[in-house]
Chains A and B, each alone.
Chain A
Amino acid sequence: MIVLELALYFAALSLVAFGGMPAVMPEMQRFVVEVKGWTTPAEFTQLFAVAQAAPGPNVLIVSLIGWKVGGLAGALVGLVAVCGPAAAIAWWVTELWERFKESPWRAAIQKAIAPLVVGLILSGGYVLATPHAIPEWRMWLIAGAAAAIHVVTPRLNPLWLLAGGAALGAILLS
């Protein structure tokens, strides 16, 4: 049953995931942690960390959640559910979207979505760095430093920032 729930939820999430995975992180955290209690807030941030550090698309956090909740079946079902509906849209919509290239509606939709995606990505960062909904200065320090470095040195491989986060975590959070 839990695997079915996982499938339905992530399939729905897939359809609103404009801007990719970062934009749906706050919603995923809300559902997995607050609504379902499948992980604790701290565990969610840790699973996110594992998915970020592992090579490959960051959507794989869904597999980790599925794995935790329903084993290998959960991992596979979660991944297919979060990719499937979006893949179907990508399959059908591409040509349609091309056809409406000159339409003012297409331009309006693109312009409307952009600030929303940015707001959602910001929300994702905020939620992940504030797992218990209470500001925690050590988490914010690490996140703030990573954010600042990411902005001023765009060419730096983000893996270095994750490594720095690991080192700071070992010092500050243990």
Chain B
Amino acid sequence: MTQADFVETIGLCQFLPGPNIGNASIVLGKRWFGFAGALVAAAGLYALPLVWVLALGALYLEFADHTYVRAVVTGVGAAGAGLFIGTAIKLGTALVRKPAALVLLLGCFLAVGVGRVSMLLVMPLAAVVGIWIARRGWL
């Protein structure tokens, strides 16, 4: 597999719906070993981390009543939320020069983040609007 091929495959998997790395395991597993390959790759990807996360989760649920444990875990959650915000800022700076893209971005944030409208409603609607705008060359 070449570097360019890898970049393209990862790019596609980031675009496709669903867990990116999970999609990559399907696409690559399929390419080299067909259906069995895809299945084994996905199983291999998730098996051990699943055990880990459930072990950590069980540990957390065991001590969740403890004030300090809750404070620490909530702090980690807040930092994780910050990582999302930082990622959005990094990705968003690429769109700053395109007003139509910023309007879509903010509209999406106000509807889903602040307004708590279901994404299952917002996403198809916004996608249609976005594709229309993109076809006019505004994105």
Which A residues fall within an 8 A CB radius of B?
12-22, 24-27, 30-31, 34, 42-43, 45-60, 63-64, 67-68, 72, 75, 79, 82-83, 85-87, 89-91, 93-94, 97, 104-105, 107-129, 133, 138-140, 142-151, 154, 158, 161-162, 164-170, 172-174
Contacts and interface: CB of A to CB of B under 8 A. Distances in A.
B57 to A, nearest CB: 5
B40 interface: no
B86 A146 contact: yes
B85 A17 contact: no
A165 B112 contact: no
Given A16-B123, A50-B53, A68 B75 contact: no
Instruction: Please give me the 5 A-B residue pairs with the lowest Cβ-Cβ distance, nearest first.
Output: A169-B75, A86-B18, A56-B49, A165-B79, A146-B82
Given A17-B17, A54-B52, A91-B26, A122 B90 contact: no
27 contacts: A20-B18, A47-B60, A54-B53, A56-B49, A56-B52, A58-B19, A63-B57, A64-B53, A83-B42, A86-B16, A87-B18, A87-B23, A90-B13, A110-B15, A115-B104, A116-B126, A118-B92, A119-B107, A120-B109, A121-B88, A122-B85, A122-B105, A125-B84, A128-B84, A145-B82, A165-B80, A174-B67
Nearest to B100: A115
A34 B116 contact: yes
B57 A50 contact: yes
Given A22-B87, A147-B83, A169-B78, 7 more contacts: A57-B49, A90-B18, A90-B26, A111-B139, A129-B82, A149-B86, A174-B67
